[in-house]
Structure 1
Amino acid sequence: MSTELLDALLILEKEKGISRDVIIEAIEAALISAYKRNFNQAQNVRIDLNLGNGTMKVFARKDVVEEVFDSRLEISIEDARKINPSYEIGDVVELEVTPKDFGRIAAQTAKQVVTQRVREAERGIIYSEFIDREDDIMTGIVQRQDPRFIYVNLGKIEALLPQSEQMPNESYKPHDRIKVYITKVEKTTKGPQIFVSRTHPGLLKRLFEIEVPEIYDGTVEIRSVAREAGDRSKISVHTDQAEVDPVGACVGPKGTRVQAIVNELKGEKIDIVEWSENPVTFVANALSPSKVLDVIVDENEKATTVVVPDYQLSLAIGKRGQNARLAAKLTGWKIDIKSETDARELGIYPRMNSNLFDDEDDSYDTFDVTEDDFE
């Protein structure tokens, strides 16, 4: 052993944040194990590691007893007093038993321990960094793929993008730069494992926070998100400031803000609607881009019956029921859509004192964007 070990420990303590005492304890424990393994000894031993001069010694610790049954662990009171007359029964005597070629084994063992501790410390640092980034967005580079995962390089670690979290309208090639949403960070025996997603609703929310300053600074709040990744999404937004248009802020000048998100999501359609604490207004907004004539609310069942013009029934329901399904997810209310004709036959429309619309033009504060809008 040399003073190089001391220099290495000082560097590790400074650069990796690993306590020198922790590493020394680990080295001493490993040397004890190496001594017993390599020299076939079962003694109770102690390692004296002197970092100042780079030396180390092995001491066998023996209990002072009246009658010896195991000479590897015990020493008689007579023999102990030959070493030091002050020893009494129950004391512990230490005898140096350092093997001649122990230095080579010690150096190799110390190197292994330091390497292992550095690896553990680096894993710990990476885990600490990424556990704080759960539910956050990062940009990564596609490295490779197998039948189960796309492997995305996030700088210090490769994240796993499971097949179930990949967007159906995307193909991934090595060196592609993609934004991913961190869903889970796990600590394993092989180090941290990071799972990411391209389909999670949180990805859409984080993208809006990046693109819309009013969301980032809290002026506008995203209240809910409903997403069918790669096809269509809806988000509801709200602000307490009367002079701010929350939908317009998300759309941006000439639609530039929302278009940047549409591009990132490879053409996924996005409906932006204004949130309202009034379920009548909120459900009507959520069914954008269709026009709504009335919303009948059942508070007990948290269900609504929505009346739409006959010619807008298909639009309100959407392709394969998608528009109605997303609106229900967005609002948290069950939605049953009826055409105006059916509603009249059932006697539920028109209703007395129904004041769904406050504006003369019967319009909602919504925005629907697709790639086609910007071609």
Structure 2
Amino acid sequence: MHTNPKSKKNVKANEEQNIDTRDVLQSITEVSRERGLSEDSVIEMFEDAMRRLLSRANGNVPVSVKINRKAQNIEAYLIKDVVEEPKYKNEVSLEDALKLDPEAEIEGTVNDAIDIEQVQKLLNSRTLAFNARKSLEKNLTVLEKEKEYEYFREKVGEFFLSPVKRREDRYVVLDLIMGEGYLFNSDVIDGEKFRVNQKIKACIKEVKQSVFGIQVLLTRTSPEFLGKLFEEAVPEIQHNIITIKSIARSAGNRSKIAVHSNDPEIDPVGACIGKGNMRIRSVEDQISKEKIDIVRWSENTDVFLVNALGKRIDALRVIKDEDNSEFDIVVRDEDYYKVIGSKGQNIRLIKDLVGCNITIIPESKYSNLKQETIEELAEIGVSEIFAENLYESGIPAYEFLAYATDEEMLEYQSDLSENEMDEIRTKAFDKNKTNQIKTLKEDFESTLDIDLHEKIGFYEACSLSEKEIYENIELVSLSPEELNEILSDYSIEDCAEIIKTFANKPENSQNEDTNEDSISSQNESDTNANDDDKTNKEELSSENTSTPEESDQHETDNSSASVDSEEISSDISEEVSEVSEEAEKSNEKIEEVS
């Protein structure tokens, strides 16, 4: 788009005719300050209002409007297309376009300055003020909503102390100054009631943007809200001396908070509890006397778990898996229900706080399970000390023993000979294989018999089950090449031998004989059915074919039936006539009485 050289004349004309734009710019500045918006956005709205009005006044020709704050003037142009033969108001010939812009060319555009008097008239008119105000209100509303949304979106998880504006059945509305916040009943602790104008604390849970506007959802039941209360009550948390590592909460009942001190000389638990329990009580008073346990956090998950159980509970043994994601904790029988808590609440909070799966085992049950394991391992030649050490380490016994090296076995029992270790490995392998086959059948619902596992091995059977090959007959249906793709460790010749072996099994040959018998019986039934159909057709044809005597008999029956029907119709007509005569007599009597 080329710059119109007449724009400078328009600026001078503005000055000569005293078209003062200072009032407009001053109004724009005031609006931007009042609404907290940038002057550029307000100027764009004002320019848009002028653009639409000037375009309407000039036959809907596109208009360019620019408010220059530095020069304090307004530049307005009609945007016209350069064509050879102008037909419409938004078109101009090349000859006239060159007068406006020496660089104009066909299929280009030029800016034609709008008459100063028209701009002045528009500035002084009420129409501009009305449209500008309307455009400003519309656009300002959108900008304010966007600004409000961004403001609260950045405040998610933060703390607010706000008065109750109004109460509804399902929620209360809080005045957040920049907008309204909704605190639903599901995000309030049971039993809490609020009055209008009562100041309450809440945390922003979520900010939604819908056709009805912005909804700021608040909560008093989230772990973040409890953390903000402690941050307010404990100065060491505010100054990052103490860090809240995790929070597990059952709002209104009980909560657990794991804390860690960045200063080794400061006790994080004591700092959060406060002198005379002052700090923790001040927090509990704000959440309906909810009980709070302060737990010392540790990088060592075993230590962290023991701390989460509490000082009154002794963890007799902690057994964990290799990934440190599942733990078995043995406690005294009298402490078992204390750790579980009412309806399992305490153990759920401990799981959420630590972030792993935990199983609490009473001491008596642990002893019984250990004794059973010792007795089972004794059957394969493992001594009581060896079995006890294996069980207490939490390692799967048969799987370990089946593949353990001599050095690994000697770590648990140093007096084992090579023959004893080989014998233990062999028996453990067989036992482990049996257990795995049992698990396989439960997982895959496999119907593969034990012969198949013994022939091709357990892991090969797993591969077949994963391909949904469960029965021997399904295995026999495969080609050697197809079986070789599944059992890659076997050659094609071995796969052919496996298929041949199971194809010759009695049950498979019996299935084939059964199939042949069923096919032959099916053929016989089809033949009998065809014979029955033929017989039925002959009977139907014989019934349809009648002799002359039978046809005469049919005619006689038909004629007698027609005579009977005539007699019945005559009787009905006589009865109808009698009823009609009686009706006429009754009508005559009624007329005489009247």
- Pairwise same-fold verdict (TM > 0.5): yes
Deviation at 1:309, TM superposition (A): 2.3
Deviation at 1:197, TM superposition (A): 1.3
Larger Rg: 2
SS at match of 1:322: helix
1:287 and 2:309 equivalent?
yes
Q: Is the 8 A contact 1:64 1:92 kept in 2?
A: yes
- In 2 relative to 1, CA 92–277 (structure 1 residues): closer, same or farther, beyond 3 Å? closer
Q: Which amino acid aligns with 2:91?
A: E
1:25 and 2:48 equivalent?
no
Q: Which residue of 1 aligns with 2:249?
A: 227
1:345 and 2:368 equivalent?
yes
1:314 and 2:332 equivalent?
no
- In 2 relative to 1, CA 307–73 (structure 1 residues): closer, same or farther, beyond 3 Å? same
Task: State how 1:23-102 maps to structure 2 within 5 Å.
Answer: 23-36=42-55, 41-47=59-65, 59-70=77-88, 72-77=89-94, 89-90=105-106, 92=110, 94=112, 96=114, 98=118, 102=122
Q: Which residue of 1 aligns with 2:267?
A: 245
Q: Is the 8 A contact 1:3 1:52 kept in 2?
A: no
Q: Which residue of 2 aligns with 1:5?
A: 24
Q: Which residue of 2 aligns with 1:166?
A: 188
Q: Which residue of 2 aligns with 1:199?
A: 221
Distance across 2 between alignment mates of 1:286 and 1:335? 12
1:277 and 2:296 equivalent?
no
Distance across 1 between alignment mates of 2:103 and 2:240? 75
Q: Is the 8 A contact 1:64 1:93 kept in 2?
A: no
Q: Which residue of 1 aligns with 2:328?
A: 305
1:269-296 Cα deviation digits (max 9, x unpaired): 1111112223333222212365123232
1:144 and 2:162 equivalent?
no
Q: Which residue of 2 aligns with 1:268?
A: 290
Distance across 2 between alignment mates of 1:88 and 1:136? 59
- In 2 relative to 1, CA 297–86 (structure 1 residues): closer, same or farther, beyond 3 Å? closer
Q: Which residues of structure 2 form unaligned runs of 5+? A: 1-19, 372-387, 393-594
Q: Which residue of 2 aligns with 1:326?
A: 349
SS at match of 1:156: coil
Q: Is the 8 A contact 1:280 1:295 kept in 2?
A: no
1:179-228 Cα deviation digits (max 9, x unpaired): 11122335567765422211111111111111112222222222211001
Q: Is the 8 A contact 1:306 1:337 kept in 2?
A: yes
The sequence identity of aligned pairs, in percent, is: 31
Root mean square deviation, CA, Å: 3.4
Q: Is the 8 A contact 1:234 1:330 kept in 2?
A: yes
Deviation at 1:58, TM superposition (A): 6.0
Q: Is the 8 A contact 2:159 2:204 kept in 1?
A: yes
Q: Which residue of 2 aligns with 1:336?
A: 359
- In 2 relative to 1, CA 118–280 (structure 1 residues): closer, same or farther, beyond 3 Å? same
Deviation at 1:77, TM superposition (A): 4.6
Q: Which amino acid aligns with 2:79?
A: R
TM-score (norm 1): 0.79
1:158-198 Cα deviation digits (max 9, x unpaired): 11223432223323332232211122335567765422211
Q: Which amino acid aligns with 2:328?
A: T
- In 2 relative to 1, CA 52–93 (structure 1 residues): closer, same or farther, beyond 3 Å? closer
Q: Which one has the bigger helix percentage?
A: 2
Distance across 2 between alignment mates of 1:155 and 1:305? 51
Deviation at 1:56, TM superposition (A): 6.7
Q: Which amino acid aligns with 1:325?
A: R
Q: Is the 8 A contact 1:295 1:304 kept in 2?
A: no
Q: Report the count of equivalent residues.
A: 348
- In 2 relative to 1, CA 244–63 (structure 1 residues): closer, same or farther, beyond 3 Å? closer
Q: Is the 8 A contact 2:165 2:196 kept in 1?
A: yes
Distance across 1 between alignment mates of 2:333 and 2:103? 104
Deviation at 1:154, TM superposition (A): 1.8
Distance across 2 between alignment mates of 1:48 and 1:278? 67
1:256-279 Cα deviation digits (max 9, x unpaired): 100011011111111111122233
Q: Which one has the bigger strand percentage?
A: 1
Q: Is the 8 A contact 1:5 1:54 kept in 2?
A: no
- In 2 relative to 1, CA 9–254 (structure 1 residues): closer, same or farther, beyond 3 Å? same
Q: Is the 8 A contact 2:77 2:111 kept in 1?
A: no
Q: Which amino acid aligns with 1:11?
A: E
Deviation at 1:298, TM superposition (A): 1.6
Distance across 1 between alignment mates of 2:260 and 2:349? 18
- In 2 relative to 1, CA 341–9 (structure 1 residues): closer, same or farther, beyond 3 Å? same
The structure showing larger relative contact order (alpha-carbon pairs under 8 Å, at least 6 residues apart) is 1
Distance across 1 between alignment mates of 2:335 and 2:80? 93
Distance across 1 between alignment mates of 2:181 and 2:147? 16
Q: Which residues of structure 1 form unaligned runs of 5+? A: 355-375
Q: Which residue of 1 aligns with 2:276?
A: 254
SS at match of 1:204: helix
